[in-house]
Structure 1
Amino acid sequence: MSDNQATGQAGGERDERRALIDRLTRLQRTIGRFLAHDRSTPLLASSLTMQQLKVVMMLFFRGASSGQHLARGLGTGLGTVTGIVDRLVAQGLVSRREDPTDRRVRLVELTTRGRLLAEELIDAGTANYMRLLGRLDTETLNTLEQVMIKLQAAADSMLTESGRSAAH
């Protein structure tokens, strides 16, 4: 086989791979739209601002955090975060406590009510997803499980490369 033929095959494989990834992305988007309706219900029922929701979700995934850490995550100043946290405290979704390793730092963490809200937002749509999966035969479900395991491993690898750990 000549170098041109090998290059042509490699280029053709890359094109096929790119087209396959595009098709999979479109399919995922379609399924996502189907599931988004149920997922949006608790979100739309919430009276929280987008910044408040972001803080709740950051705390859910990262655990107790300092105001500085939250400010970096939101891309805002500490004063803005203080106001956001004050409103979340007033709603009973977060609390503040002293950092045991540095008493000068106040940590913000979810209350039970805040954790329940975050779980509700994450779990919304699960019932519809389960009904959707229930329409698939066992062989397809087994294949999907193997694919999902590989996707999770790839996601874990990407998170490790970026210096974060996956929240399971």
Structure 2
Amino acid sequence: MDQLQREIVLNVYRCSNLLERVGRGLVNEVGLCSVQQWFILGVLYRQGELSLKDLTNNLLVTKQNITGMVQRLKQGGYLSAWEDPADRRITRVGLTDLGRQVFEELFHSSSASNEDTFSSFSREEVEQLSELMAKLVNVLQLQSEREKELRNGQE
């Protein structure tokens, strides 16, 4: 089973790299710099305005990463940011009209790409893959949190 597990990990990395390549082409067409910026726009599009902390937790990135990405999106006119009126220590972010428009363009162009990508899979296979990938993400997230707790306990 060790070999099979290594092959799965290698294929997940390969998929990640290929998805990044395809995604980079899509975001470049609308003026964004990275696929991660697209993910930020998508989370805010679906969930509405969020705190930086909630956005960080949703995307599984560090506070430093999200701060820089949000700043660049704000400078590009895609996001607005403000202090939470109830707690000035909290920064909230939301989409501007431009950010909403760009996300909708990406949504439409990525839908065609996704249709092509998954055209050789049955509906059942896509559902299985989705469930298994979600399970893998959850396991890796728990593992990452445990390792972080261990590191913090040793400091």
1:131 aligns with 2:121: no
Of residues 13, 24, 29 in structure 2, which corresponds to 1:40? Answer: 24
Q: Distance in 1 between matches of 2:99 and 2:92?
A: 15
- Selected match of 1:100 from 85, 90, 93: 85
Task: Report 1 or 2 for greater relative contact order, CA contacts < 8 Å, sequence distance ≥ 6.
Answer: 1
Return the match for 1:156 from 138, 141, 146: 138
Specify the code of the residue in structure 2 equivalent to 1:20.
L
Cross-structure match for 2:94: 109
Superposed, which structure 2 residues align to 1:47-66 within 5 Å? 47-48=31-32, 57-58=39-40, 60-61=42-43, 63-65=49-51
- 8 A Cα contact 1:64 1:108, kept in partner: yes
* Aligned match of 1:24: 8
1:80-101 deviation digits (Å, cap 9, x = unpaired): x5xx73x644532111334131
- The share of aligned pairs that are identical, in percent, is 19
| Kept in 2: contact 1:93–1:111 (CA 8 A) | yes
Amino acid at match of 2:135: A
State the aligned residue count: 134
CA contact (8 A) 2:52 2:91 kept: yes
* Long gaps (5+) in structure 1: 1-16, 164-168
Secondary structure of the residue aligned to 2:137 is: helix
> What is the one-letter code of the residue matched to 1:24?
I
Larger Rg: 1
Structure 2, unpaired ranges of 5+: 57-61, 147-155
After TM superposition, list the pairs within 5 Å mapping 1:69-84 onto structure 2.
73-74=63-64
